[in-house]
Structure 1
Amino acid sequence: MFPNLLHPRAYVGVLALLALLAVPFALQSPFAYHLAVQVCVFGALATAWNIVGGYAGQLSLGHAVFYGIGSYTATLLVIHFGITPWLGMFAGAAVSAVAAAVIAYPTLRLRGPFFSLATIACLEVCRLLTVHEEDWTGGSAGLNLPLNIGLKWMVFREKWAYLLIAFGFLVATLWVAWRIRRSRFGFYLIAVREREDAARAVGVNAVQAKLAAAVVSAALTSMIGSFHAMYLTFIDPSAAFSLELSIQIAMFALIGGLGSVAGPLAGTVLVLPAAELARGWLSAFGNGTHGFVYGVVLVLVVLFFPRGLAGHLGARVLKLIDRLPGARERALPAAPQSAAAHSAPRGEPLLVAEHLMKRFGGLTATNDVSITLHAGEILGVIGPNGAGKTTVFNQLSGFIRPDEGVVKLRMPDGSWARPGTPNAFALAGVGRTFQIAQPFSGLSVLENIMLGAFMHTRDHGEAEAIAREVAHTTELSALLDVEARSLTVGGMKRLEVARALATRPRALLLDEVMAGLNPSDIVRSIDMVKRVRDTGVAVLMIEHMMQATLALSDRIVVINAGKMLKEGNPADVVNDPQVIEAYLGKGYRDAQAA
């Protein structure tokens, strides 16, 4: 639950955080205390925003709405009911969590700039409501906090007391972000950010994951907003529900490195002190001169560090830290027994598709197709380009819902399940790859495979053990620390298979896993598929490499023009005149006969 404080990454991080306290206490300056409080507050806000904006990849530009809800809730409870802000902040967090769920459920289905625009609209609506509820909120004039000095009211004469509380909020927010990043939930968020379809194929409910991220981020942002209102002792709608604030905290995370734990704080430490000092030193040259600092830093980062400071420098810094004493690797738990051992007896029907029909407008892509995959076999599906193989494949994995017919899967207890969504198919035991490899490019090979392993475990160590075992099967052990984007085409294809195998499927669907490979990679892939079958996993493969298909398949199904053309053993199928005609045309068949 807690990091090993004897590991260099832990104690170096603790020392770096303590420096935020040591510097202002050493200077004993009110401005130094104020600057440190602001760094802690905005570092925590950027870290909280990073959960939804960095991990989940949802660019929320109206995130200050939760800061405003938290600050107003705590302040109103103090003014009207005399409730301590230590309780008021939790009330604000609850209100923000509900608001986040209401806002996020419809808007998270939007893509691109539309989600960002929707969050800005929600922010503006809340600001206008606060302005118009003048009797309750003070309207545009804002509210002054009663100056009740004491810990109970979170109001102090000494700024060092505020700094200690702000530091506590920062540490708590960083701990939550660290826990999420190392958890199954964090891996799922990054998978959704990188490739949502591939995430669904390993059992991720994308909407549910993004909604949970929005709720957690909103609650943390609200609590920090409650404290900041007590620190400022005054709030008004234009500051509490500020688009500028939303952009500012997003920019800190962007500069530091989206999706990293330390990145948002690093961006805050880099930019905020420089901007605040520029505000004081350059204010004589005109208001807003400090904004120039933000712009210059942002332009430099985008030009030279497009993945942020943590994205470009993080790996180098970690390598240096790992050379310090105490950086020994921990022992991993043994990988659990593969679920394939509990598959149906060899030869029994495992995945059954009956009378599948799929139309796209006036085009009938699938016309009464019935396929049965038996336990322990390799079934090859072939056909000319445009025959409808991929449409059938997507129906077998839940990515396309058939207009007619049914797809069902035999469960370990002998019952039949009829999943309806890609993640439901994955959870039921159907793994799949994609025709065009879809790795999570920002993650390492090990982390990519762990994403599949997390389907059946929440434990980070157990998922890593499963991933290493699967990497051995797919010949990826030497590449575990390499970023997925750096792999060759053959490596990416094997990584797709490894990620699917880590979900412990009973049926594995391979979509042209050998397409575009060189001869040596094709040989490795053939051996890999045989090893997969030997573990007890049934394999259905679409493949244009005819020699590989003949060498591997126990049975072959031929699809042409959306219909079943032929089914049987490889030798009979490839010599069938109808199959030859489908591939090479009637003219070739007639010439052969002549």
Structure 2
Amino acid sequence: MLPNLTHPRGYVGLLALLALIVVPFAFQSSFVYHLAVEVCVFGALATAWNIVGGFAGQLSLGHAVFYGIGGYVATLLVAQFGISPWIGMFAGAAVSAVAAIIIAYPTLRLRGPFFALATIAFLEVCRLLTIHEESWTGGSSGQNVPLNIGLKWMIMREKWAYMLVAFGFLVFTLWISWLIRRSRFGFYLIAVREREDAARAVGVNAVAVKIAAAIVSAMLTSLIGSFHAMYLTFIDPSSAFSLDLSIQVAMFALIGGLGSVAGPIAGTVLVLPAAELARGWLSAFGNGTHGFVYGVVLVLVVLFIPRGLVGHLGAAVVRIIDRLPGARREAPAVADIALKAVPVERGTPILVAEHLHKRFGGLVATDDVSLTLHAGEILGVIGPNGAGKTTVFNQLSGFIHPDTGAVKVRLADGSWALPHRPDEFARHGVGRTFQIAQPFAGLSVLENIMLGAFMHTASREQAEAVAREVAVLTDLTALLDVEARSLTVGGMKRLEVARALATRPTVLLLDEVMAGLNPADIARAIEMVRRIRDAGVAVLMIEHMMQATMALSDRIIVINAGRMLRDGTPSDVVNDPQVIEAYLGTGYRDAQAA
């Protein structure tokens, strides 16, 4: 898939890229050609790093290990076996992919700085191994690249030829980054970066997508490292496996704007030429000046534009571009597939929890809780604070594993599944919201809902069409282009519901969806829940708004001290003496009587 070059965003971006090669040809200077090569190389490296560091939010401070692997594998294959670097660079990419799996598989299952620390450790190990294996790597003295002139060997006499090849690597890396950002995979990476639990609730296997991002980033970095070694015609451990290089590449992405396609190249174009020019003009007197330039720019960005150049200025630039001829796009037609789950006869059990027990140390949070949700039903769960409702709720969606007991979900063919992880529950038809709304703040309302729709759609266009239908159901159509962070509390609550509905669930778990809302939003939420039930989705809701719970629920379960206290119709529950004593109080009974 290629960008639409007839749209202003496409051709303006292409023109900006072409300036990187047009300007050097205008100067006809070896230094300017060299500077253009370095901009293309480091822009590509920053773009590759951004896939794991920006899109996925996993800090890789030893990312130069993949650059070094690519450079050394390509160089050694040329020197030892006479294999063209155009072939050797793919061998290096394969080795880098294996290295990425070794680093990422154990560390990205954990939250915290473990991945960053592992990349630094692996970088140092590779540097020491390269120094130690002097017989074939050249040790600390490094390795010269055989000077076989010709495109086959990636060794050219003219700087402009290198510049064209480097530009090709940059365009390829940007294209891969653009494809990822627009794809389901890219949306999942951003979701994991912003709110991993919310991502898991819409069916994202967080560990798998983070590992995949690390592999793609490592392979691209390795390819670029192979070319750069041929360009420099020399490689040594201290420069190939350099912590400084890793930090420099990450800094370019940070200055330009993490998580954006254009950010890494924008940061490189801003900083690298200024640093190289300062180093060239000041010569020996300015030794280390490039580091000073990097530091000054980084401090200014952190203080005044913490979201980077693209994050701070990108929206304004896009608005200007979108005023150009040909920018207007028609919204896709609304789909009619969002809630087409396989019909289940009303009253059929579709979610069953059996004898759930959960203990946290000496605290018994769930004590032999069993419940059944039927198709076409709204089941309310009430109880005092600390009664164990949220623990039960999290067990019903896979976020907490019961010590004993099981949760079963009815599948379309009538069989029962026993999911364990949140993403498995989501794929088996259990959608959920969170007590404290967890929108993906950096994405628009439309993109938030699309994250849920991707589970059952084959393309971005289908996901967008489903999202627009769900927006109608949840009163969000007018807000589709608004950033999620700008919504009111009521809007965020409805967005949580919409995102869950876009997964096409048969069961929707609502966790205090009316908490903190004003009366108008509560009335809107009540109507929304009824529309959802009428669309064929069974609803289980935890709610402290008793009037709403009584008005909506077909059946109510009362939990107290981790145990089931009552299960019955609203009228039976509200008049039960035990329920009144434990939760409602005599004031509620008197108000109902009045």
Matches within 5 A, 1:51-200: 51-200=51-200
Indicate the SS of the match to 2:456.
coil
Q: Which residue does 2:369 correspond to in 1?
A: 369
**Following TM superposition, by how much is the alpha carbon of 1:442 offset from its aligned partner in structure 2, in angstroms?**
1.0
How many Å separate the matches in 1 of 2:354 and 2:586?
30
Q: Which amino acid aligns with 1:281?
A: W
**Following TM superposition, by how much is the alpha carbon of 1:426 offset from its aligned partner in structure 2, in angstroms?**
0.1
Q: 1:586 to 1:368 in 2, by over 3 A?
A: farther
**Following TM superposition, by how much is the alpha carbon of 1:323 offset from its aligned partner in structure 2, in angstroms?**
1.1
Say whether residues 1:469 and 2:476 are aligned partners: no
Q: Which residue does 2:504 correspond to in 1?
A: 504
Q: Which residue does 2:326 correspond to in 1?
A: 326
Q: Which amino acid aligns with 2:77?
A: L
| Cα contact 1:178–1:261 (8 A) shared by 2 | yes
Indicate the SS of the match to 1:258.
coil
C-alpha distance after superposition, 1:292-313 (max 9, x if no partner)? 1101110111111101111111
How many Å separate the matches in 2 of 1:589 and 1:493?
30
Q: Which residue does 1:203 correspond to in 2?
A: 203
Q: Which residue does 1:225 correspond to in 2?
A: 225
How many Å separate the matches in 2 of 1:175 and 1:539?
43
**Following TM superposition, by how much is the alpha carbon of 1:584 offset from its aligned partner in structure 2, in angstroms?**
5.3
**Following TM superposition, by how much is the alpha carbon of 1:362 offset from its aligned partner in structure 2, in angstroms?**
1.5
Q: Which residue does 2:238 correspond to in 1?
A: 238
Indicate the SS of the match to 1:406.
strand
| Cα contact 2:50–2:253 (8 A) shared by 1 | yes
Q: 1:560 to 1:536 in 2, by over 3 A?
A: same
Indicate the SS of the match to 1:323.
coil
| Cα contact 2:338–2:470 (8 A) shared by 1 | no
Q: Which amino acid aligns with 1:565?
A: L
Q: 1:266 to 1:489 in 2, by over 3 A?
A: same
- Aligned pair count reads 591
Indicate the SS of the match to 1:351.
strand
| Cα contact 1:558–1:567 (8 A) shared by 2 | yes
Gaps of at least 5 residues in structure 2 are none
Q: Which residue does 2:439 correspond to in 1?
A: 439
Indicate the SS of the match to 1:509.
strand
| Cα contact 2:334–2:468 (8 A) shared by 1 | no
Indicate the SS of the match to 2:87.
helix
Question: More displaced, 356-365 or 202-211?
Answer: 356-365
Q: Which amino acid aligns with 2:415?
A: S
C-alpha distance after superposition, 1:114-137 (max 9, x if no partner)? 332221111111100111010010
Say whether residues 1:486 and 2:481 are aligned partners: no
C-alpha distance after superposition, 1:334-371 (max 9, x if no partner)? 52524544131111111111111111112111111111
How many Å separate the matches in 1 of 2:425 and 2:353?
13
How many Å separate the matches in 2 of 1:223 and 1:41?
10
Identity %: 81
C-alpha distance after superposition, 1:306-341 (max 9, x if no partner)? 011111111111111111111131452652524544
Q: 1:336 to 1:82 in 2, by over 3 A?
A: farther
C-alpha distance after superposition, 1:14-65 (max 9, x if no partner)? 1110000100011100011000000000000000000000000001000000
| Cα contact 1:282–1:290 (8 A) shared by 2 | no
**Following TM superposition, by how much is the alpha carbon of 1:575 offset from its aligned partner in structure 2, in angstroms?**
1.1
How many Å separate the matches in 2 of 1:589 and 1:474?
33
Gaps of at least 5 residues in structure 1 are none
| Cα contact 2:445–2:479 (8 A) shared by 1 | yes
TM-score after normalising by structure 2:
0.98
How many Å separate the matches in 2 of 1:247 and 1:336?
48
| Cα contact 2:339–2:502 (8 A) shared by 1 | no
Q: Which residue does 1:565 correspond to in 2?
A: 565
Matches within 5 A, 1:258-269: 258-269=258-269
How many Å separate the matches in 2 of 1:90 and 1:333?
43
Supply the RMSD in Å over aligned alpha carbons: 1.6
How many Å separate the matches in 2 of 1:337 and 1:191?
23
Say whether residues 1:536 and 2:547 are aligned partners: no
Q: Which residue does 1:34 correspond to in 2?
A: 34
Q: 1:137 to 1:505 in 2, by over 3 A?
A: same
TM-score after normalising by structure 1:
0.98
Q: 1:561 to 1:586 in 2, by over 3 A?
A: farther
| Cα contact 1:343–1:375 (8 A) shared by 2 | no
How many Å separate the matches in 2 of 1:276 and 1:500?
50
Q: Which amino acid aligns with 1:483?
A: E
How many Å separate the matches in 1 of 2:472 and 2:229?
54
Q: Which amino acid aligns with 1:187?
A: F
C-alpha distance after superposition, 1:389-430 (max 9, x if no partner)? 000000100111111111101111111111111000000000
**Following TM superposition, by how much is the alpha carbon of 1:585 offset from its aligned partner in structure 2, in angstroms?**
6.4
Say whether residues 1:272 and 2:275 are aligned partners: no
Question: More displaced, 106-115 or 62-71?
Answer: 106-115
How many Å separate the matches in 1 of 2:261 and 2:386?
46
